[in-house]
Structure 1
Amino acid sequence: MPRRADLVLAFVAGVPLFALSVVVAVLSVPGVRAGLLVGACLVAHAAVAYRRDTWAFFVVAAAFGVQVAVTGLFLVLPSAALFPLAVYSRAAYGRRYPPLIVGLAGAGVAAARFATDSSVAAADLGPNPWLLFGLLAAVVVAAWGFGLYRRTQLAYIDLLRERARDAAARATAAERARIAREMHDVVAHALAVIVAQARGGRFAPARAQEILATIEDTGRTALTDMRAAVGVLRAAPEEAQRQPLPGLADLPGLLERTRSAGLPVAEIVRGTARPLGPGTELVAYRVVQEALTNTLKHAGPGAGGTVLLEWAEDGLHLTVSDDGRSTSVAGTGNGLAGMRERVGAVGGAVEVRTGEAGGFVVEARLPYRT
């Protein structure tokens, strides 16, 4: 099917040009030859609707070949303007050099036919063949050049579209990774607290009500966080940006839930707080959450933890450590990998190691907002 723009072009250009060509053909070349000229013009105008296809170019060239065979006066037909258009279209949408070769050959044949036509000679209208050839060749080369320029434009547009698709794919992958990290942090910490509480409940039946209340509160908080994370996927971009995100102000609640799970955690703050920005505060919160989750999983019974927030000159130095029995760094998990990605995304650095006396240590440096 021809494109709508090409159909419009074929109609808008075809109606006046074809009508004038019919009049000129009938007046200049009466008889059967006039009918052949009109038929060839009609075929060429119809092919313009498919000008982006290879066959349409050769149909137009063949139609003008028929006109050359009929008379050299075909050059005075207004429909002769279709040939440069065909050269332009083929250079823009097809192979580069065939339209130029065919166009220059057609210019030579047309110049020779016009200059040697008996009707032209009888009317003493015959120009210098070389001058006519130069003029026709210039028209062909100009049409071919404009076609190449359009070809370059189309290639550039395709490149921009491809880059846009790649950027959209990368953004989608990054968003999926971000949501995966959020879900992991929320679920992993909540389950670690619930498992620790359930384990403790087996040995302390008298605290069953308190333990169940803590499990319920932890599960409700995790469910709320999960709904918020999933809601970002469903919300419009401007609504997603307004979704509440945990930050440093939410650390006391996180530490309290961790203590209720049986892990004593001390919080130490040094220096004067400075603005980090909501994104960096979220990273700080998730670093503490992931580190405490690992402590709950691996530190063992009787362990304690410390969260140190040191407001230094170059940024917030965040250290989460425990005195548990862990002697190796579980550095291959998804949680720690996500932690490194989060910290790196805000321009910070993180180190995960074992303490000198054992235990698990996470040190992160987060830059201030500038």
Structure 2
Amino acid sequence: MPRRADVVLAFVVGVPLFSLSVVVAVLSVPGVRAGLLVGACLVAHVAVAHRRNGWAFFVVAAAFAVQVAVTGLFLVLPSAALFPLAVYSCAAYGPRYPSLAVGLLGAGVAAARFATDPSVAAADLGPNPWLLFGLLAAVVAAAWGFGLYRRTQLAYVELLRERAREAAARATAAERARIARETHDVIAHALAVIVAQARGGRFAPAHAEEVLATIEDTGRAALRDLRAAVGVLRAAPDEAETGTERQPLPGLADLPRLLEHTRSAGLAVAEVVRGMPRPLGPGTELVVYRVVQEALTNTLKHAGRGASGTVVLEWAEDGLRVTVSDDGESTGATGAGNGLAGMRERVAAVGGAVEVRTEEAGGFVVEARLPYRT
């Protein structure tokens, strides 16, 4: 934690520096002035423990101002090393420019005090006051520059964290949308088949056993697909503990089963395959399956009695073209509905395009173009 690290830094640096400063102050300045120097050093060392707060710099600056007022020889105190640290910390964590302004002003005042102090003149000590001012100003400028560099680092790290949070939020939203699409496709198709079977069973009591068997198979398949769709939400350790395995998501190999379920619901569906099959990624195969499933579900719900459908898989040079059409009544809006919106999102996610239209002679057409795996 930053607060704890600052306390540790203040203790580790403070113990040797403050001890030496007490010895120097007592030996160099007699009487009350020594007590003032020791007290100012102690306040400065305590303030360093709060160096990330802007006020801590001004406390340190005030403490060394006391030392300047007491003696021009204050620079010999080891605790004076705290001032560059305070300048650095203020530039990095607090207001940007006050530390530089106060530091340069302090350098000028210290050099002037050094030049006019009687004890300095009596001892005939150097260096030249102008040289001293340049040295102090350089130390302040360097500490301030390092502080700005640290400030930039912290800002960059915070920017990366913010981008990471935004990316995580987008990934979470995308995963939720994906699961919502999977759930919608599975449930919508299963319910469409079940409703169609139940409606047919009302008018054909003699086939009730066959209808119920179809409904059971459809429900079981829907449950299996739902488990596969939401299986990604399970944590790997939980799967290892329970011994469960995720069901594979459907692909091209599952299209015959899908068409058979649709036919059992009362919709005559023909399948046409043109060209030589080429490899698709598992994600693209899932998109093909869901496009066909959603289109047939819409046909079951909206095409009306006696309608039939056709599924065409054309393995063209530029990609797989999937066309699902029916000859029923106009089957609803070409742009509305969660299913059609999800279909467009799925196809776009794998680099494809989809077109949904109503034919003039009647019927509904869904045409998707999907790229091959490269």
Aligned partner of 1:200 in structure 2 is: 200
Aligned partner of 1:80 in structure 2 is: 80
- The within-5 A match list for 1:3-14 is 3-14=3-14
In structure 2, what is the Cα distance between the partners aligned to 1:80 and 1:123?
21
In structure 1, what is the Cα distance between the partners aligned to 2:247 and 2:353?
26
Contact 1:2 1:49 in 2 (8 A): no
- Aligned Cα root-mean-square deviation (Å): 1.8
Contact 1:320 1:362 in 2 (8 A): yes
Contact 1:2 1:50 in 2 (8 A): no
Higher mean C-alpha deviation, range 240-249 or range 118-127: 240-249
Contact 2:196 2:265 in 1 (8 A): yes
In structure 2, what is the Cα distance between the partners aligned to 1:237 and 1:178?
23
Higher mean C-alpha deviation, range 290-299 or range 116-125: 116-125
Aligned partner of 1:112 in structure 2 is: 112
Aligned length: 370
- The within-5 A match list for 1:120-131 is 120-131=120-131
Task: Give, in angstroms, the shift of residue 242 of structure 1.
Answer: 6.5
Task: Give, in angstroms, the shift of residue 331 of structure 1.
Answer: 2.0
- The within-5 A match list for 1:121-270 is 121-236=121-236, 244-270=248-274
Task: Give, in angstroms, the shift of residue 127 of structure 1.
Answer: 2.5
Higher mean C-alpha deviation, range 197-206 or range 8-17: 8-17
In structure 1, what is the Cα distance between the partners aligned to 2:296 and 2:336?
17
In structure 1, what is the Cα distance between the partners aligned to 2:210 and 2:356?
34
In structure 2, what is the Cα distance between the partners aligned to 1:263 and 1:120?
107
Higher mean C-alpha deviation, range 103-112 or range 120-129: 120-129
In structure 2, what is the Cα distance between the partners aligned to 1:22 and 1:118?
22
Determine whether 1:277 maps to 2:303: no
Aligned partner of 1:358 in structure 2 is: 362
In structure 2, what is the Cα distance between the partners aligned to 1:141 and 1:266?
81
In structure 1, what is the Cα distance between the partners aligned to 2:80 and 2:8?
19
Aligned partner of 2:294 in structure 1 is: 290
Deviations 1:118-147 (CA, angstroms, capped at 9, x unpaired): 221111104221111111111111111111
In structure 1, the gaps of 5 or more residues are: none
Q: Which amino acid aligns with 2:311?
A: V
Contact 2:229 2:249 in 1 (8 A): no
Deviations 1:195-247 (CA, angstroms, capped at 9, x unpaired): 10111111010010000111111111111222222221123499899651110
Aligned partner of 2:306 in structure 1 is: 302
Q: Which amino acid aligns with 1:156?
A: Y
In structure 2, what is the Cα distance between the partners aligned to 1:135 and 1:96?
22
Determine whether 1:323 maps to 2:298: no
TM normalised by structure 1 equals 0.96
Aligned partner of 1:95 in structure 2 is: 95
Higher mean C-alpha deviation, range 184-193 or range 113-122: 113-122
Aligned partner of 2:25 in structure 1 is: 25
In structure 2, what is the Cα distance between the partners aligned to 1:327 and 1:280?
26
Deviations 1:147-166 (CA, angstroms, capped at 9, x unpaired): 11111111111111110001
TM normalised by structure 2 equals 0.95
Q: Which amino acid aligns with 2:361?
A: A
Q: Which amino acid aligns with 1:358?
A: G
Contact 2:192 2:297 in 1 (8 A): yes
Contact 2:227 2:246 in 1 (8 A): no
Determine whether 1:55 maps to 2:55: yes
In structure 1, what is the Cα distance between the partners aligned to 2:203 and 2:235?
45
Aligned with 1:332 (options 325, 336, 340): 336
Any idea what SS the aligned residue of 2:311 has?
strand
Structure 1 residues 327 and 250: CA distance shift in structure 2, 3 A: closer
